[in-house]
Every structure is written in structure tokens, then in C-alpha cells.
Amino acid sequence: MIDYTKTPDQPLSVYVEHAVQKFFENADTEHAGRLYEVFLHDLEQSLFAATLRHTNGNQSKTAELLGMNRGTLRTKLKFHGLI
């Protein structure tokens, strides 16, 4: 079992694979044929939310950390309902 409260001692890919395995264990047919789209949407939303928390809501710092233009970030934040 992965302890998400501790500092990661494994690559991010280990946590992602664990999450995907859990998804399949609890899979429903609602997302059949759309798994890639649904997974990327949820991953992106979580990444943006966590990075915003890390930067205390500073969108410029968030965009810089993510390596994207601030305008692009704002568009994505609006899409995900984060602003």
C-alpha cells in the first residue's frame, strides 16, 4: 500500500500506475472507450490544483513551474473550474 502522506520515495509513475490499477478494480462502464480522455482530464485538474496550492494561488509561478504560458494556464484553469 502506498502512503500518500509521506514524501515520495518512488517515481511519480509508480503512483500513477497504482491509481490506474485502482481505477480498473473499481471500473464501471461509464468511461468505456474514453479512459485516456477521462484520465488525462482528472490528472491535469489534480496537477493544476496541487500546483496552485503550492504557489499559494500565484498563477504566474504556477505557469512557470508547469512550463507553460500564463494565458494557457488560465484557459485550462477555467476549463477545469479552478478559477
Instruction: Please state the domain extents for the chain.
Output: 31-83
How far is Cα 58 from Cα 44, in angstroms, rounded to an integer?
17
0.85 exceeded by the pTM? no
- Domain 31-83 indexed as CATH 3.40.50.1980: no
Residue with the larger pLDDT of the pair 8 and 15: 15
Percent of the chain with pLDDT over 70: 87
Summarize the confidence of residues 39-47 as an average pLDDT. 93
CB 63 within 8 A of CB 69: yes
What's the pLDDT score for residue 25?
82
The pLDDT of residue 16 is: 86
Whole-number mean pLDDT of the chain?
88
* 48 burial type by CB count under 10 A (0-12 exposed, 13-18 middle, 19+ buried): buried
